[in-house]
Each structure stands twice: as structure tokens, then as C-alpha cells.
Structure 1
Amino acid sequence: MSIERISAEAALSQLGHFSEVIDARSEGEYAEDHLPGAVNWPSLHDEERKIVGTRYKQISQFEAKKLGAALVAQNIATHILREVLDKPREWQPLVYCWRGGKRSGSLALILDQIGFKVTLVDGGYKAFRAALVADLPQLAARHQYQVICGTTGSGKTRLLQALAAQGAQVLDLEGLAHHRSSVLGLIPGLPQPSQKAFDSRIWAALRSFDPARPVYIESESKKVGNVAVPEGLIAAMRSSPCLQLDLPEDERVALLLEDYDFFVQDIEFFCDRLGALTEARGKAVVEDWQARARSGGVASVVRELLVKHYDPVYLQSMRRNFEQYEAARVIAPRGHSVAAMAALARTMLATA
């Protein structure tokens, strides 16, 4: 048998060297988090794991192993028929499971017997996760950041998207987190990743960047919805140069009505989310906002949310947490449109 075993640290540094990275865990384990770019070939599916586990507890380890072996063999045969028959001899997969290596080892053994060069991750996903967490602070510290600051509705996300479209290095934390980073930031129909998956997405993005070029990033707080930005990245952001994106109030309201159109289309959903501000703004204020929203006054409610709630909180947080905020260079687009942000991005990159 010629299966090679490598450490999780080595796997992190060599991910791009393999033809494919295969996660042999169940669909549920894979969905929670996986190595960047990995595909899922479950040796046991979620329901099968439950059945085998129940047999282990209620009958015996021996009986559970017999059933598990039959199910694993059946699933691996399916993967081989579906995924492997067209692979050339030079195909070199990296395979891992949770920790012990039984699920990945079974798959690796068959692939090795076919004649492929197979590599296994020692310690599996658990070791990979520990290695990634240890690597994140130094990876975050390797880069130079330009922090895009600006009050709610000033177009920070649109500017980041415009910069990325023109080839700049952009770390869009809200995009990676599937959340717009406020009480109203939930995106309908788009669940947030787990904390582990969020960390992995950040790690993969940082790893792809050139340290000789700046990374543009938004002035996020420690949490983006339900997930937390890694401490090493937060520290690097907060000590970095800032750019202050300025947009007139009318333009900010218009931008928010466009970006949060789902609130305009579903007023009750909007009112339900406003309820989360009761503790901060008081019951009477929130009930007034809800009544006005239901009466067609969404724009006026958005304006008040900006002026009375979001702006004071944001400015206080920026002055407290971002060391170079007071020295921020002001950048101002001609308007809130995508085209205006694209024009600003071109100017920024031309003068960088």
C-alpha cells in the first residue's frame, strides 16, 4: 500500500497541489465546515451514521461494525462509479474524515488499490481545524489593509464590489457571512455559515491575496450577525489606515431602499425586525416606526433610523475602536449608483 499520510499543517500549505480534496464525512458534517474547495463523498450518510450509532449502543460494537462496513462499501462503490471511472492515472486526491481515519481510510484503500496516488490527512478535519485557527492570526497580520469606513447606507459594500470587479484585493466579510451586519442585516432565504465555515472562508481568502498589494475591507464590528470576525483580523483592521466614504443623506436613504427592497416588499417582516430595536430605542419609538412603515412611510422611517440610531452608534464605535479613523482620507462618489461606485473605484486604484 502506497498511501501517503501528511499533517494537517502540511495539508494547509499544499491544498492547491492535489487534483481533488475529498471529504469522506457525512453531508451534515461537511455542511458545517470543510477544507476549502473540498467535495463531499460520504462514506456514511447522516441517517446511516444514526442507524450505526444506535446499533452500537443498543446491540454491540461488533454488530455496528458489520453494518457500518456494508454501508461504507456500498457508498464507496457508488462514488467510484459516479466520480472515478473517467479519472486519469495521474489524478491525485487528498482524503480526510473526522479524526480517526476509518471512513477516509476505507476510501483511500480502494483508490490506492485502483492505482491512484492517495494522500490522507493525519488527524482529519479536527486537526485541520486546529491548524487553521493557529494559522489565522499570522496570516491576517501578513497583509496591509485599507479600511472602508462610512455610516450606514454610504455604499461601503457597493464600493467593495466595484473594487473587486476592477481587480483589487477585497475581503468582503458581510458577503462571506451572508449578513449585512446590523439588527436589520438578516438576508431572507440565505442562512449564515457556521463559525467554523466563516473562519475557513476568511482563511482561504487571505491565503489567496498577495501581501505586496493592499486588501480593501469594510470597518466591521467584532460580530457579523451570528458569527465573529477572528481576533487576529480584527486587531489588524483596527490599526490600519482608514478611508471615509461620504454620501449625502438623501442618497443613503435611496441606497438602503434599493438594497433592502425585501423590507419594502414585506412590511410585516420589516416591522418584526424593527421590534429588535425596542430595548435600544424604547417601545413608543419603535411602535411609531412600525405604524408609519405600515402606512407607506418606509423612507421616513429609514431616515430616522439613520440619524437617530445608526449614525451615533457607528461614529462612537469608529472613534473608540479604529486607531486611524480621525485621520481618514475622505472619498466621495457622485451618487449611490453602481456606476458611481465603479467610477470612484477606478479613481482610487489609479491614484493608489
Structure 2
Amino acid sequence: MSHQPDTDHYLALFLNDTPLMDVRAPVEFDKGAFPCSENLPLLDDLQREVIGTRYKDAGQDAAIALGNELATAEIRDARLASWRTFVDAHPDGVLYCFRGGLRSKVTQQWLAEAGFTMPFVEGGYKAMRRFLIDSIDQIAATTKFQVVGGFTGTGKTPLLAELENSIDLEGIANHKGSSFGKQIGGQPTQINFENSLGVRMLKLREVAHPYMVVEDESRAVGRCGLPLSLLEAMAIAPVVVIEAGLEERIERLQREYVDEMLVAYQCHWGDDEGYLKFCAYLLDAIEGIRRRLGGERYQKLRGSLETALQSRQLESVAGVYRDAIAQVLDQYYDPMYRYQLDQKKERICFRGRYAEVVDYLRG
């Protein structure tokens, strides 16, 4: 393989979805990494801790000596095998450690001795992370946004999927932003959420749309907090409102949160285990709106839902769900969102049905 120079061209790495080999320890990777990255560590968590302590106590040379001592032939062969597999699969790949220092150079050296070349990212994870955070702030400050609003169930998320210039914050956060919003796989860490958001914003900036479209969100989607710079940009952006009748909204919510969710759970875990996890998801969601329903109404709805779930009567499950959602929409979500929209009335630039809003935003 021909030699590729080490790189600090962070923008190109993210725009091109360059495969990234993360040689940091698993504990570091789990806290935060980048899209298109795979963790193939030089040091495991314990080795990293021991060598780090030696570095602090006795300096770099002593740390390198200990690293060489710990790198038995068996460990070295195992590391090289995984790295070579990555290189074979991704000849355009790039490796990185935390700061683009010793671990990157050792990995690169071991690969070279085995006949493979792979560039590393100068500045490492720390520099790439800083680049993404700065990019979010810079793009948020210099880009026009359109905010899509509307009552719960009007189809804001599907609408975003139809637009090339949208940022699906709920998709990136893997959460639909309500008590019923938990998704299979759980949410990314805050760092991973921000990293994925930064990459999406960079890609949209390159396409040079007149504006970016986002859904009207609060400070957090589930447990993922929106960057302050983006929140500030959204707070002054024009608002486009999707309008839909109550029955249409309930039908959409039933389809998304019962019918499609059951299919997703069973596809992921199989019929029986998937159904049990689907039951737990719905019961947890009902628990999440307990206070909004009130004690007596909650007990009645939960009892009806448990009975329907036990008998696998999906039509009954959907019926109970419809009752719960209709009540919560009427008593909590709709009044809350009506108030929020009223606070933004000066910024509302268009109202219309789903298709009309799509046409407006594409125009």
C-alpha cells in the first residue's frame, strides 16, 4: 500500500465518512467517539491506567518501557490481527488516539513493521472533537433556520425525512422527545449526540441550502441536550406550523407507537421476547404520564392495558392506547403546545396541512 500522509484535515474526514480506527482504550471510546469510528485499542482499560500512572510518576521513557514490557507477543499479535482486518476492509482508513501522540505512533509503527501503512489524525480525538463543537457554534451563528412546529402527532418527524436540508434532532438522539419516545438501542452519550449533530450540520453547510430545517424542540431530546448556540438560533427562527385534526393525529400516534413499535421490537428480539419488551415499553410509557392522567384514570387505563397485553389483543391494546393518548393530548400536550405556539406567534410564517408545509419548505 502506498504511504498516505498524516492528516489534520478534519472537515474532509467527516464529509467523506472516512473510516476511523480509534486506538484509545474502551473506557474512552464509550464516553464519546465519532460516526464511522471503530474501537480497536492499543491498550485495554487496565493497561492504560497502569501506563498512565507510570508516565505521571517517572516520565515518558519509563511509560514506553512499561508498555513494551506489557506488549507480549500474544497481545501484539492479537492487536495486529484486528488492525490488519480493519486496514484490509478500509484501505482509505485513518487511525487516531486521544491527542495524536504516542499511541497513534506506536500503532502506526507496529502496522508498518507488519507491512501496512495507515495515516493518523494529528491532534487526535481532542482536536477533532474541538473542531466539531466549534463548527456547531459557527454554523448556528451564520445559518438561517426554519423551525417546524405543530401539535403532537401532526407528522413533524416524517416531514423532516422528506427534506434534504433537515436536521432530525430526534433521530440523532434516538428518542422521540416524550414519555413514549424511548427507542430500541437507547440514546447516545451527550458527546456522541453532539458529534453526530456536528457532522450533519457540516454536510448540510457544504450543500449550501438557503436554510436548515429543524423540529421545534425544547432544551433536551430525552437526555440529550441541544447545544446553546443551536437553541439560540432556533429561538429567533421563523416557525412553520403543520395542522391536522385530532383523529388524524391519534391514528398517526397509534400507528407509530403501537403498530410499528411492536414490529420493531419483534424484528429486533424475536416474536416472544420482542412482545414482552414491547409490553414493558408501553407500560413504562403509561407510567411516565401517570401524574398527567390522574390516579384514578391512570389505574383504569393501566389495568385495561395490562389485560389487553396479556391476551395479546393488539386491537384492544391500540384502543386503550387511543384512550390514553386522547386524554393526555386534550388535558396536557395540546394546552401546553398551544401556549408555546402563542409565545411564538410573531415568528409564525406559514400554517398548513402536511403536504402544504412540505411544498412551502421545498419552495
**TM-score, normalised via structure 1 length:** 0.78
Aligned CA distance change for structure 1 residues 49 and 346 (closer, same or farther; 3 Å): closer
5 Å-filtered alignment, 1:142-221, equals 142-161=142-161, 163-164=162-163, 168-187=164-183, 189-209=184-204, 210-221=207-218
**What does residue 225 of structure 1 align with?**
222
Cα deviation, residue 18, structure 1: 9.3
Determine if contact 2:26/2:45 at 8 Å carries over to the other structure.
no
- How far, CA to CA, are the matches of 2:334 and 2:27 in structure 1? 40
% of aligned pairs identical?
23
Structure 1, unmatched stretches of 5+, are 334-342
CA distance in 2, matches of 1:136, 1:56: 32
CA contact (8 A) 1:21 1:95 kept: yes
Correspondence 1:22-37 to 2 at 5 A: 22-37=21-36
The separation in 2 between residues aligned to 1:293 and 1:252, in whole angstroms, is 20
Unaligned stretches of 5+ residues in structure 2:
264-274, 308-315
Distance 1:57 1:120, change over 3 A: closer
In structure 2, the residue matched to 1:140 is 140
Trace 1:248-263 onto structure 2 (pairs within 5 A): 248-261=245-258, 262=261
Matched, 1:347 2:359: yes
Deviation at 1:36, TM superposition (A): 3.7
State how many pairs are aligned: 324
1:219 Cα offset (Å): 0.5
Distance 1:37 1:313, change over 3 A: same
Q: Report the RMSD for the aligned CA atoms in angstroms.
A: 3.4
Q: Equivalents in 2 of 1:291, 1:80: separation in Å?
A: 54
| Distance in 1 of aligned mates of 2:15 and 2:125 | 17
TM-score w.r.t. length of structure 2: 0.76
Deviations 1:254-312 (A, max 9, x none): 10000001479745542332222334554334324323434643211111111111112
Task: Tell me, yes or no, if structure 1 residue 273 matches structure 2 residue 285.
Answer: yes
Residues 1:331 and 2:352 are matched in the alignment? yes
Contact 1:4/1:120 (8 A) holds in 2: no
Local SS of the residue matching 1:193: coil
Q: Is this contact kept in 2: 1:3–1:108, CA < 8 A?
A: no
Please say which of residues 210-219 and 242-251 is displaced more in the overlay.
Answer: 210-219
**Is this contact kept in 1: 2:292–2:328, CA < 8 A?**
no
Aligned CA distance change for structure 1 residues 252 and 126 (closer, same or farther; 3 Å):
same
CA distance in 2, matches of 1:271, 1:17: 42
Secondary structure of 1:244's counterpart equals: strand
